Amino acid sequence: MTMLRGAAAAVARRCGLRAGSGGGKVAARRCCSAARRREWVPPVGRDSGIMAYNSRSRTKEPLVLAKDRVATWYSCGPTVYDHAHLGHACSYVRFDIIRRIMTKFFGIEVIMVMGITDIDDKIIKRANEMNMSPVALARIYEEDFKQDMAALKVLPPTAYMRVTENIPQIISFIETVIANGQAYATSQGNVYFDVKSWGKRYGVLTTISPDTPDEAVNTDKRHGKDFALWKAAKPQELSWTSPWGKGRPGWHIECSTISSAVFGKQLDIHTGGIDLAFPHHENEIAQCEVYHQCEQWGNYFLHSGHLHVKGSQEKMSKSLKNYVTVKDFLKKFSSDQFRMYCLRSRYSSAVEFSDESMDDAKNLLQAISSFIKDANAYIKGQLICDPVREDILWERLASTKVTVKASFADDFDTSRAVAAIMDLIHHGNRQLKAVTKDTGSPRSSVVYGSIISYIEGFFNALGMSFEERQVAVKGDSSAVLSNVIDELVQFRTKVRHYALALPEAAETALVEGDAGAKGSKREEKEKRQQLMGERRPLLEACDSLRENLAAFGIHIKKVCCGGCPDLAFAYPRSPAN
């Protein structure tokens, strides 16, 4: 009863009514009668603990799953006729992050199916241009797509399903839609969905009304808004036999059939880019609700925002020829850098792509890696610091965990969660200040170990790591660069220790110069001062090298721990440091 009252209140709000106002119930009933199917009905099931923005209701709603801790999820897959570009990647990576959040942070098992459109006008056109069969072309680019997703560390769906392997099911689906009175076949062998016959039930995701005047069309459709379920074959075109003659499926019917074949009439989540909301997802809903004769198919529709090229309001797309392929992108940046770029904004928002925005994401990754290296050095005793306020750090760690979980529960707000992690790193860094002398105070290794474990676990859960290859400025040469830097820093450390005439260095020099020399501590001190004076140019050269490397983003941190080499970080330091 409480759920019903809540739904009625929601209807009243969307109709511009105040709850409890006189005549509100009657007006709400009229509103529901006028546009009955445009209202979203909260599903029956178990609350996941997540609030998600639902394109069906145009507001945040509790994510209620039909089966406890199990989510059924259909994802629109690619039309495989060319290489995937960064606009595609942005959507798939964002939804991969959401899938990982649901699994790792909320304990939800996700059953995901992705449809692969492997027959389409674009595929046929490209295959003709390349003088090969559409099936062969589609297989090549399907595998190419899967390789790109693996390179971006996008988890594969539970099952990929190709359109060409579901033709009998698609034909059967169309026959049912015709039998239910919402589709018609033409004399030319085409089959169309009759949008006008569906009336007010059409327009769930949009404000499109079937009653608005049609534009003039020169086809065999009854109405301009009708869309193809089956397309009659053209000469020399790949086709299948059907009750309406040889042909192939329309685009929208493919996803409706595949998702229904796996999940039936109960689907928790449907995802895709915002450009798919209309007409693709709108038409999917209409087809499925006719086929299943159900009141609501697809409880939650989640849409990712466009990826724009810097300085343009246009989305990245092949038709506009303003795209960067995934393969070309990964020659310059790593998958973790792109994932951090995606984490910095809400999945539903439009984002601008540029080298500057990628540099921002890269610097964040580098700051995180820098902190982890510093903290590990502290735990190992290689970085000596003043006593640490453990109580403050334990409190910060606990509050960060709460903030992260709350952020993810609020429509998967990754930007807020990452900000909480960076704030934790800021407070951890504030207490990792190297001192020149070891006071003998105990190290607070446990709290820093816990912070490192949580931060690494957070990013690992979201599909990231902190390997050199992922964090370093350059991609393929990063491992070699890292080794070269390590060797250079170790050499500089030895030279610097020699220039400072440190005990082990001075001792070696005395043995080499005068094996029998024995003197008092005073004489040794005087000797060290004399050596330091003689070797001062070496010390100045070491300092000069340190400053010059900093200009190239390679920062050397002094370590006060006997003969331990200094630490080098091959990236810009974070302001939090």
Residues 393-431 have pLDDT tens digits of: 999 999 999 999 999 999 999 999 999 999 999 999 999
First to last CA, the chain: 55
DSSP H or E segment with residue 92: helix 86-104
- Residue 460 confidence class, pLDDT cut points 50, 70, 90: very high
Rg (CA), the chain: 32
| Displacement of CA 54 from its chain's centroid (Å) | 19
Give the predicted TM-score (pTM) of the model.
0.79
Mean pLDDT on 462-477: 65
Beta strands 70-79 and 59-65, pairing class: unpaired
| pLDDT(390) > 90 | yes
- Residue 270 half-sphere exposure, CB side, CA atoms within 13 Å? 29
- Residue 47 confidence class, pLDDT cut points 50, 70, 90: very high
CA dihedral sign of residues 468, 469, 472, 478: positive
| pLDDT(22) > 50 | no
In this structure, of 87-91, 165-169, 271-275, 533-537, the range with the lowest mean pLDDT score is: 533-537
User: For residue 80, what are the CA distances in angstroms to 138, 350, 523?
Assistant: 5, 24, 80
User: For residue 270, what are the CA distances in angstroms to 131, 139, 260, 343, 399?
Assistant: 36, 25, 12, 21, 33
Question: Which residues touch 465 (CB under 8 Å, ≥6 apart)?
Answer: 336, 459
Q: How do residues 48-70 score in pLDDT, each as one tens digit?
A: 999 999 999 999 999 999 999 99
pLDDT at 155: 98
SS3 142: helix
pLDDT at 316: 78
SS3 226: coil
User: For residue 456, what are the CA distances in angstroms to 2, 62, 466?
Assistant: 42, 29, 8
DSSP H or E segment with residue 216: none
| pLDDT(15) > 70 | no
| pLDDT(475) > 50 | no
User: Do residues 300 and 52 make contact, with C-beta atoms less than 8 angstroms apart?
Assistant: yes
Nearest to 223 by CA among 280, 278, 184: 184
Mean pLDDT on 271-292: 97
Which tokens belong to 386? 């003043």
pLDDT at 435: 67
Q: How do residues 284-312 score in pLDDT, each as one tens digit?
A: 999 999 999 999 999 999 999 999 987 77
pLDDT at 469: 55
Instruction: Output 71 or 538, whichever has higher pLDDT.
Output: 71
pLDDT at 213: 67
Beta bridge partners of 114: 75, 160
Instruction: Output 100 or 573, whichever has higher pLDDT.
Output: 100
pLDDT at 529: 84
Nearest to 543 by CA among 531, 529, 558: 558
pLDDT at 471: 62
How open is the CA angle 486-491-493, to the nearest 5 degrees?
A: 95
> Tokens 């019903």 sit at which residue?
4
| pLDDT(437) > 70 | no
**Average model confidence (pLDDT) across the chain:** 85
Which tokens belong to 353? 């792509």
pLDDT at 106: 98
